[in-house]
Chains A and B, each alone.
Chain A
Amino acid sequence: MAGSDTPNDWLTWAFSPTISAILVTLVVSLCLPVLIHYYLYRKASAKVLPTVLLIGPSGAGKTTLLTLFANGTPSATHTSQEPQTALCQLPSTTSSHEDRYRSEHDTSSRSQPKFLLVDTPGHGKLRHHALSSLTSPTALKGLVFVVDSAAVSSAAGLTETAEYLHDVLLLLQKRHTQSKTSRDPQAIPVLIAANKQDVFTSLPASLVKSKLEQEIAKARQTRSKGLLDSGIGMEDDGGDDEESNWLGQYGAKEFKFAQMEEHGVEVKVIGGNVRGEGEEKGRVEEWWAWIGENL
């Protein structure tokens, strides 16, 4: 019958050693996996973007910095309630880490790397967003701790900033010393961005660094002498002895950021300002350069 003839014919042809059948088989067997691959991976992202985290006390200028890096101009901001992520790209004038093997006279156009900038709230009650992003495993390539250089000149602002910085550095130190695997977790460099350098009462970056070091020394002193936590005995892995809660070099009287290098945390203090006075633009090139180096 005609109905059963044509499938029969097709099958006979398909299994016969004719050139056309072989060619068709070859094409199908080569193209099919490729097509399946494209279908399955049509929505998957190409690669995981590196992340840079913005941390700092309230009012330091983190959200404004985020808008500057993402859009090119800073917009007006208020106190943040939630973290915000933005996709940023290094400006063309900044050289990134990938360019370190390129010659300076290389004029080929290259696309600057992109990265995710995560802004966290600085209010006391909402710092858990920042601290949990530090401990969660993401491709965190750098930490920018934004500091208001003018607030640091007052005692209250200095204390708040130094205590927050102490907590953050301690968390990084514990992450390094108490890692369960033998391979160290990837080190996260820290940039302390001394913001608002255009304000009249702001301190220069070197003075910010020394003041913060002194305050952190005091903070770790009082922390070690303070009351025990009510959560003592909660963790199973032995009680924290004093040494693990001491930032930097145990027993040292003074604290220097260089002491953090043995825990793989490299700290740098660079000044700049997100907003310029009046019509000026802000100076953030050095911060871009730091990000470019560490991406």
Chain B
Amino acid sequence: MLDGVEILTTSGIVLWRRHYAPIPRSVVNSLVADVFIEDRRLQTGDTQQPPTSYRKDKYTLKWTRAKDVGLVFVAVYQSLLHLSWVDTLLTAVKTLFLKEYAPELAKPHLTKLDPARFDPTFDALVRKLDTGSTRRPSVPDSEGPGELTPPSSSASATEEAVDEPPPPPPPQPLFRKPTAPASQRDDTSTDATPVPTPDTSRPSTPASHLLTAKSGPGKASRRARKAQQSFGNSSAPASSGDESATGRAQAGKTGTAKAKRRWDADGFAVEGEEEVLDYSTAGATPSQADNAAGQREAADVPAVDSAQMGTRTPKGHFILKDLDDDISALLANPPHQQNHPPTQTTPSDPTLLTTATTKLTSLFQNILGNKSLTATDLRLPLAQMRTHLLAKNVAREAADRLCAAVEEDLLNRKTASFTTVDATLRQAMSSALTKILTPSSSLDLLRDVTATTTTTTGAGARPRPYVISIVGVNGVGKSTNLSKLAYFLLQNGFRVLVVAGDTFRAGAVEQLRVHVGNLSALARRGGGGSISLFERGYGKDAAAVAREAVGFAAGGTTTTANAGGGAGGVGLLFDVVLIDTAGRRHNDARLMGSLAKFSQWAHPDKVFMVGEALVGTDSVAQARNFAKEFVDGTGRLRNNGIGMDGFIISKCDTVGDMVGTLVSMVHATGIPVVFLGVGQHYGDLRGLNVGWAVERLMR
């Protein structure tokens, strides 16, 4: 069952909504944030096609967009259901809404619409598309096989608009006849005994055996069968004259003859049906009585021609004509065929003069601006832009996706005055790159460290050391960048513990020992921090070493009881723990698997992956494989489902302008770039300036 449909503008205002069940606001908000703004595609492994549905909590959301007017149409339903008609509903809603409100949408600065005009259209659409298997139980349609649902009874609490006037009750017999010819209505009989009058929905009475014997659209119900049997068992067959039946019935009524107990096939006594079932004493045949009654009823009330009002669908639903025509025409030809942009009229046989004039006019239009952009206009400049990006070392997948996004953005837009198509494209590409590279929330490392090491209030009451771990493939510069990070923290007066988590590579521990020696000498000169190394030699399990180190830094072991001096929490030996890990190929499953255990034992606050700026297309695969390893205990990726906390792009001084790796890695995972390594000295660590990066890429 559909939970709700909302229509909102790109600036966030909800223009129209219909909720069948309460939907928390965070559901649609997270759709907008995750899909439209941040464009996360981790759930679908394949990123070539754009995602079509989004899951959050127990809801699934599907959407469609109208980019030219800036509208988003969202449908929400429970994830357990599989509603196949939601896509059609959304497309139809989009077309009808745009048609209905076309004049208001053409005006600028739209903040409000009158929602009531769209309500009846939407109700009709849902009724038509909702195939009944998922119909809500609030709609009372248990009236019997002929599913007549008078619209007035189908209103749920949220639907205020009563769209169609309820059909007056008397026409019901007119409807009943075609669907249930075997039905016999008791109240049309002139001699109906009132006491055990069955419901109008109960279809059969024994007098109708005359009809059931002949007709039989298969719906002979129990009563009809009973009736048949009852009269079959009686001495007088049905075809006998009325008098005998009358006589028999009268005899039965007066009670002179013994009341015959009827038994049906199921073993139940058929009780008390003689009075009810006998209609032969009236004199008029049941069919005549019915006709007479029907005509009489029809005479009382002006006849309503149902065919004029609307049509009846095979399920028996009656839908008003004008809306249905519209909608069925819409559903018959899918709108994307209708919305096909009118092809430009090209001359059939281009003569020299016409080609020259068209070239000149397009040239002038290009320079002057105000040109509406079509796919052919954009094809060549986009191809050039793609080559340009590839030349800047952006991975092919990222370049394709960026170009597709820009093309979708620019299609059917008008260029500003005095800007060429090329300039417009560059501008659009710059803003797309800025959007990808800008992080959702900027990292302030010093702030986080201070907060964690000095917090004494709130949930995490005890101060604990801040744990940062560095991962990456072999040879990208993990140990070097770790030392640069340590230097930065030392300059700010923190106490740093460097953990040699690389227990595999020969010389890894000695390398770190040299770095720590240098840094402690530098720290003594000025800065006020202190640094030391924690190592357990070679061959041990890295996760165990890391856990032991974090415990040591928190001051937990019995041997070290006194707290070190300097800034930071009381009782902590060290403020920051930097864990170095072994380099591993991203396609080596065994080594990558040990990362999960590492993150669960060490509980790092931040996981940074180091990638070199020199790597080419491999960066995408590297980033993805590393990101999906960091799963916490419940199976969810840490850091809000992203995996890692940031990239450190090393060796940026060697690539000059070709900093496309930044874009590839961010595109692959959605994880922001936090630091750039620009040299081999301790001070060569920079933050990312998005404007600088975009300017380098577009140069």
Known contacts A226-B446, A229-B687; A125 and B435 CB within 8 A of each other = yes
When C-beta atoms are compared, the residue in chain A nearest to B38 turns out to be A125
When each residue 210-230 of chain A gets 1 if its CB lies under 8 Å from chain B and 0 otherwise, what string results? 000000001100100111111
CA distance A75 to B9 in the complex (A): 12
Contact present for A222 and B446 (CB under 8 Å) = yes
Chain B residues with CB below 8 A from A42, complex form = none
Q: Does B14 contact A (CB under 8 A)?
A: yes
Contact present for A81 and B12 (CB under 8 Å) = yes
Contact present for A76 and B447 (CB under 8 Å) = no
Q: Within residues 27 to 46 of chain B, which ones have a CB less than 8 A from any CB in chain A?
A: 28-29, 32-33, 36-38
Contact present for A128 and B434 (CB under 8 Å) = yes
Q: Does A138 contact B (CB under 8 A)?
A: no
Q: Within residues 506 to 555 of chain B, which ones have a CB less than 8 A from any CB in chain A?
A: none
Chain A residues with CB below 8 A from B13, complex form = 63, 66-67, 75, 77, 84
Q: Does B255 contact A (CB under 8 A)?
A: no
Chain A residues with CB below 8 A from B687, complex form = 226-230
Known contacts A119-B11, A155-B458; A79 and B33 CB within 8 A of each other = yes
Contact present for A81 and B32 (CB under 8 Å) = yes
CB distance from B171 to the nearest CB of A (A): 41
Q: Does A78 contact B (CB under 8 A)?
A: yes
CB distance from A125 to the nearest CB of B (A): 5
CB distance from B46 to the nearest CB of A (A): 24
Chain A residues with CB below 8 A from B9, complex form = 84
Chain B residues with CB below 8 A from A58, complex form = 33
CB distance from A55 to the nearest CB of B (A): 14
Contact present for A67 and B33 (CB under 8 Å) = no
CA distance A231 to B687 in the complex (A): 9
Contact present for A63 and B11 (CB under 8 Å) = yes
Known contacts A83-B11, A84-B9, A119-B11; A124 and B447 CB within 8 A of each other = no
Q: Does B156 contact A (CB under 8 A)?
A: no
CB distance from A190 to the nearest CB of B (A): 21
Q: Does B198 contact A (CB under 8 A)?
A: no
Known contacts A67-B112, A78-B28, A124-B439; A219 and B447 CB within 8 A of each other = yes
Q: Does A87 contact B (CB under 8 A)?
A: yes
CB distance from B674 to the nearest CB of A (A): 10
Q: Does A163 contact B (CB under 8 A)?
A: yes
Q: Does B688 contact A (CB under 8 A)?
A: yes
Q: Within residues 1 to 16 of chain B, which ones have a CB less than 8 A from any CB in chain A?
A: 6, 8-14
CB distance from B381 to the nearest CB of A (A): 24
CA distance A159 to B14 in the complex (A): 29
Contact present for A229 and B692 (CB under 8 Å) = yes
When C-beta atoms are compared, the residue in chain B nearest to A59 turns out to be B29
Q: Does B440 contact A (CB under 8 A)?
A: yes
Contact present for B111 and A78 (CB under 8 Å) = no
A85: contacting residue among B109, B442, B444, B689, CB under 8 A: B109
Q: Does A71 contact B (CB under 8 A)?
A: yes
DSSP class of B's interface residues: helix, strand, loop or mixed?
mixed
Contact present for A66 and B447 (CB under 8 Å) = no
B37: contacting residue among A123, A159, A222, A226, CB under 8 A: A123
CA distance A230 to B684 in the complex (A): 10
A75: contacting residue among B14, B38, B435, CB under 8 A: B14
Q: Does B685 contact A (CB under 8 A)?
A: yes
Q: Does A126 contact B (CB under 8 A)?
A: yes
Q: Does A160 contact B (CB under 8 A)?
A: yes
Interface size counted on chain A using CB atoms at 8 A: 44
Contact present for B444 and A226 (CB under 8 Å) = yes
Q: Does A279 contact B (CB under 8 A)?
A: no
What number of residue pairs across chains A and B have CB atoms under 8 A from each other? 134
Q: Does B70 contact A (CB under 8 A)?
A: yes
When each residue 154-170 of chain A gets 1 if its CB lies under 8 Å from chain B and 0 otherwise, what string results? 01000110010000000
CB distance from B658 to the nearest CB of A (A): 15
Contact present for A159 and B447 (CB under 8 Å) = yes
DSSP class of A's interface residues: helix, strand, loop or mixed?
mixed
Contact present for B111 and A84 (CB under 8 Å) = yes
Contact present for B37 and A86 (CB under 8 Å) = no
Q: Within residues 450 to 476 of chain B, which ones have a CB less than 8 A from any CB in chain A?
A: 450-451, 458
Which of B13, B25, B458, B693 lies at the interface centre, i.e. has the most chain A CB atoms within 10 A of its CB? Answer: B13
When C-beta atoms are compared, the residue in chain B nearest to A234 turns out to be B692
Q: Does A90 contact B (CB under 8 A)?
A: no
When C-beta atoms are compared, the residue in chain B nearest to A87 turns out to be B109
Q: Does A106 contact B (CB under 8 A)?
A: no
CA distance A63 to B28 in the complex (A): 15
Q: Does A236 contact B (CB under 8 A)?
A: no
Known contacts A124-B440, A125-B435, A229-B687; A80 and B12 CB within 8 A of each other = yes
CB distance from A58 to the nearest CB of B (A): 8
CB distance from A150 to the nearest CB of B (A): 15
Contact present for A78 and B8 (CB under 8 Å) = yes
CA distance A114 to B488 in the complex (A): 52
Q: Does A232 contact B (CB under 8 A)?
A: yes
Q: Within residues 80 to 119 of chain A, which ones have a CB less than 8 A from any CB in chain B?
A: 80-87, 119
Contact present for A231 and B36 (CB under 8 Å) = no
Contact present for A78 and B32 (CB under 8 Å) = yes
Q: Does A70 contact B (CB under 8 A)?
A: yes
CA distance A218 to B451 in the complex (A): 11
B492: contacting residue among A84, A225, A228, CB under 8 A: A225
Q: Does B83 contact A (CB under 8 A)?
A: no
CA distance A234 to B441 in the complex (A): 24
Contact present for B676 and A230 (CB under 8 Å) = yes
Contact present for B111 and A67 (CB under 8 Å) = yes
Q: Does B249 contact A (CB under 8 A)?
A: no
Contact present for B689 and A231 (CB under 8 Å) = yes
Q: Within residues 671 to 699 of chain B, which ones have a CB less than 8 A from any CB in chain A?
A: 675-676, 678, 685-689, 691-693, 695
CA distance A79 to B450 in the complex (A): 31
When each residue 135-179 of chain A gets 1 if its CB lies under 8 Å from chain B and 0 otherwise, what string results? 000000000000000000001000110010000000000000000
Q: Does B17 contact A (CB under 8 A)?
A: yes
Contact present for A78 and B441 (CB under 8 Å) = no
Contact present for B438 and A128 (CB under 8 Å) = yes
Chain B residues with CB below 8 A from A83, complex form = 11
CB distance from A47 to the nearest CB of B (A): 18
Contact present for A78 and B109 (CB under 8 Å) = no
A84: contacting residue among B25, B109, B691, CB under 8 A: B109
CB distance from B657 to the nearest CB of A (A): 13
Nearest 8 interchain pairs by C-beta:
A231-B689, A231-B692, A84-B11, A80-B12, A124-B440, A230-B686, A76-B14, A79-B32
List 30 A-B residue pairs with CB atoms under 8 Å apart, sorted by A's residue number.
A58-B33, A63-B11, A63-B13, A66-B111, A70-B112, A75-B13, A75-B111, A77-B13, A78-B6, A79-B12, A81-B32, A81-B36, A82-B70, A84-B9, A84-B111, A85-B108, A124-B440, A125-B37, A125-B435, A126-B435, A218-B447, A219-B447, A222-B444, A226-B446, A228-B686, A230-B678, A230-B687, A230-B693, A231-B689, A232-B686
A77-B8, A230-B652 are known contacts; what are 11 more A-B pairs with Cβ within 8 Å? A67-B13, A71-B111, A76-B17, A78-B25, A82-B70, A125-B439, A155-B451, A222-B447, A225-B446, A228-B686, A228-B687
Chain B residues packing against A (C-beta within 8 Å) = 6, 8-14, 17, 25, 28-29, 32-33, 36-38, 70, 108-109, 111-112, 434-435, 438-442, 444-447, 450-451, 458, 488, 491-492, 652, 675-676, 678, 685-689, 691-693, 695
Chain A residues packing against B (C-beta within 8 Å) = 58-59, 63, 66-67, 70-71, 75-87, 119, 121, 123-128, 155, 159-160, 163, 218-219, 222, 225-232, 234
